[in-house]
Chain A
């Protein structure tokens, strides 16, 4: 048998039909659904008289536009259009008989956080969601990617997706990370190397000692941003840490099924001689705590750097860099650590898990948010929030002057009332620094949770290593 990559193995085990030209029907094991990209898909089913083929494999949760302030289970406390979308999801979940976590449920949260938390996310499965950050679940060795609403309807109706196979890319992070360097710095640094289109047409497998050393939370952060590098999906081979995380979760297999699953999961790795279409190797020790300076996630520099000049770039990036600098209100040559910040946002499917809150709280403990700044923590799920309260992290945040919010996507995409004002500058643990992403005219610098906490204390972008 010819050697295979992890992606090859999962792919081969999910092809339900292959046409002569290589177009496949890929069987989908888990379909995650949220309120923003699903209403038109359910409407499509109604109009054609179709059903959800596998309601037991379909899981819905409102997360994108829900408020993160108290009283939100009363629709009167939502904007009218948000309330309509949430009500539509309520109704669709009920009418089509799918699993559902309403806002009133403590298990509600960001779809990519609750999938793993509830044990829906399992190694070797295929997972899709009408959201590009579905790549997150690749941390478990699951083939997971975002789809559009037409594809959501296709999966609801057929439990398959029409796909052609992507190419294989290996991203190896060798050796150890230096102190203060996190999974967020790894994933941003990789995008800084490849560019936002470098992964287009590929599924990336992240490997190497620095990846193996990461917790499951850290691995999710890495895979989460595979899409920001253009890749269809990110993958990390499952290991003992993965199995330990999954074991005992509500929807994880139990008893004999667990043993059988484990036997299969242990076959999920790339064979030594497997073929890679592209390989990128980065030394772990070369990665520094990074920040973004521009309006693309590829605009990454170590915090010790300076704002670049458009003339540092080539081709279309020259004009793009100028546009970014104008939008961001930055002057070339300015040290990144001198950029003053108005707001700090800790949360999102990239960095809204318990480990992220621990990392931020470790920096904040006994300190205060700088006067005049706005700072908020939005836990990724109700359960993350509850755990953080139990561990005393919530008190650290509140004592420091952070707002302690309810779970949701919040200011990562600012569909709910959590938004930046024009020219307001934010250090954010989320995943996109696009123009207008966090609010029209808002300026976003992507950072790790520790770096966000450090910025909250000093009021400017700050090297977290100085505060450790």
Chain B
């Protein structure tokens, strides 16, 4: 997995609540057996019309935001389907960080497995970042994972909370499975104990 340390980039404003994973990557693009190439269809039905032509008003089609690396969005981002194709599509497009007042549980976890940092901040703080993002390409937002801070284009610094283990894995680009494999003796021991206690399970 790609490490995440610091990021300074264009933030795209998406002031919508309940952005669901069906919006992020519609089901017709889930028929792949690969993880790559989904960026072309990120937000497909919002980004393109029925003829496949770009919809000018959609934020990621606007000249200022085509190279966005950060998304600032409304409450409950990533709700709905568990499809990890959603973070795969964001990553493939070039989005490495999503900032919102809250995230749906499964999407939030999926981000960390793919080197994407989801940052949950209070609504009033997201409102400030949204305004900043609305300034366009010249307004670059900075994120520092080690320091757990977001810095606006005006230099205002805000701190965010993050689980220490998730932060450690993301900073170091660690593979969860490798880490768990180091604890295999605990799993073996648990399995023997559980087999004795609940042999039917």
A binds B: yes
Which residues of A come within 8 Å of B, CB atoms? Answer: 13-17, 19, 21, 23, 25, 27, 29, 36-37, 39-40, 43, 48, 50, 64-65, 79, 81-82, 84-85, 88, 122, 124-125, 130-132, 145-151, 153-154, 157-160, 162, 164, 196-197, 200-201, 227, 230, 232, 253, 257-258, 260-261, 264, 296, 298, 315-317, 319-320, 323, 413-415, 422, 432, 434-437, 440-441
Contact with B104, one of A27, A159, A197 (Cβ below 8 angstroms)? A197
Min CB gap A109→B, angstroms = 19
Does B17 contact A153, Cβ atoms closer than 8 Å? Answer: no
In the assembled complex, the Cα of A316 lies from the Cα of B18 at a distance in Å of 9
Contact with B31, one of A19, A48, A65, A232 (Cβ below 8 angstroms)? A65
Does B20 contact A434, Cβ atoms closer than 8 Å? Answer: yes
Residues of A within 8 A of B34 (CB): 40
Residues of B within 8 A of A320 (CB): 16-18, 74
A-B contacts, 19 of them at CB < 8 A, read A17-B186, A21-B163, A23-B165, A25-B186, A36-B30, A37-B83, A40-B34, A81-B32, A122-B201, A148-B87, A148-B110, A157-B180, A158-B184, A196-B76, A200-B104, A319-B15, A414-B27, A436-B23, A440-B26
Residues of B within 8 A of A253 (CB): 200
In the assembled complex, the Cα of A320 lies from the Cα of B80 at a distance in Å of 16
Given A40-B34, A148-B106, A27 contacting B16 (CB threshold 8 A): no
In the assembled complex, B157 has its CB within 8 A of some CB on chain A:
no
Q: Which of B82, B87, B113 has the most CB of A within 10 A?
A: B82
Which of B60-68, B132-140, B146-154, B190-198 makes up part of the contact surface? Answer: B190-198
Does A124 contact B187, Cβ atoms closer than 8 Å? Answer: no
Beta-carbon contacts of B103-141 to A below 8 Å, as 1s and 0s?
Answer: 111100110011000000001000000000000000000
Does A85 contact B176, Cβ atoms closer than 8 Å? Answer: no
Does B104 contact A316, Cβ atoms closer than 8 Å? Answer: no
In the assembled complex, the Cα of A147 lies from the Cα of B200 at a distance in Å of 24
Residues of B within 8 A of A150 (CB): 84, 110, 113-114, 176
Contact with A158, one of B82, B114, B177, B199 (Cβ below 8 angstroms)? B177
In the assembled complex, B3 has its CB within 8 A of some CB on chain A:
no
Which residues of B come within 8 Å of A, CB atoms? Answer: 15-18, 20, 22-23, 26-28, 30-35, 45, 50, 74-76, 79-84, 87, 102-106, 109-110, 113-114, 123, 163-165, 176-177, 180-181, 183-184, 186-187, 189-191, 194, 197-201
In the assembled complex, the Cα of A164 lies from the Cα of B78 at a distance in Å of 20
In the assembled complex, the Cα of A330 lies from the Cα of B191 at a distance in Å of 55
Given A132-B82, A146-B82, A196 contacting B18 (CB threshold 8 A): yes
Contact with B33, one of A43, A130, A232 (Cβ below 8 angstroms)? A43
**Who on chain A is nearest to B77 by CB?**
A197
Does B84 contact A319, Cβ atoms closer than 8 Å? Answer: no
In the assembled complex, the Cα of A160 lies from the Cα of B176 at a distance in Å of 11
Does B187 contact A158, Cβ atoms closer than 8 Å? Answer: yes
Does A21 contact B110, Cβ atoms closer than 8 Å? Answer: no
Residues of B within 8 A of A414 (CB): 27
In the assembled complex, the Cα of A276 lies from the Cα of B187 at a distance in Å of 30
The 5 closest A-B pairs by CB, nearest first: A150-B113, A253-B200, A16-B190, A39-B33, A148-B110
Does B15 contact A316, Cβ atoms closer than 8 Å? Answer: yes
Does A17 contact B183, Cβ atoms closer than 8 Å? Answer: yes
Does B84 contact A17, Cβ atoms closer than 8 Å? Answer: no
Given A17-B187, A200-B76, A440-B45, A413 contacting B27 (CB threshold 8 A): yes
Min CB gap B129→A, angstroms = 15
Min CB gap A414→B, angstroms = 6
Contact with B79, one of A157, A160, A196 (Cβ below 8 angstroms)? A196
**Who on chain B is nearest to A149 by CB?**
B84
Given A132-B80, A200-B104, A434-B22, A415 contacting B187 (CB threshold 8 A): no
Contact with A147, one of B28, B106, B123 (Cβ below 8 angstroms)? B106
Residues of A within 8 A of B190 (CB): 15-17, 27
Contact with B177, one of A27, A145, A154, A413 (Cβ below 8 angstroms)? A154
Min CB gap B191→A, angstroms = 7
Min CB gap A42→B, angstroms = 9
Does B23 contact A37, Cβ atoms closer than 8 Å? Answer: no
In the assembled complex, the Cα of A48 lies from the Cα of B183 at a distance in Å of 18
Residues of A within 8 A of B191 (CB): 16, 27, 159
Contact with B200, one of A39, A257, A422, A435 (Cβ below 8 angstroms)? A257
Residues of B within 8 A of A164 (CB): 163
Does B80 contact A432, Cβ atoms closer than 8 Å? Answer: yes
Contact with A432, one of B22, B180, B201 (Cβ below 8 angstroms)? B22
**Who on chain B is nearest to A87 by CB?**
B33
Given A200-B76, A436-B22, 19 other A-B contacts at CB below 8 A?
A16-B189, A17-B186, A25-B183, A37-B30, A37-B83, A85-B33, A150-B114, A154-B176, A160-B180, A196-B79, A197-B104, A200-B105, A201-B105, A230-B79, A298-B18, A315-B17, A414-B27, A415-B28, A432-B81
**Who on chain A is nearest to B178 by CB?**
A48
Does A197 contact B75, Cβ atoms closer than 8 Å? Answer: yes
Does A84 contact B33, Cβ atoms closer than 8 Å? Answer: yes
In the assembled complex, the Cα of A435 lies from the Cα of B44 at a distance in Å of 12
Min CB gap A58→B, angstroms = 14
**Who on chain B is nearest to A231 by CB?**
B105
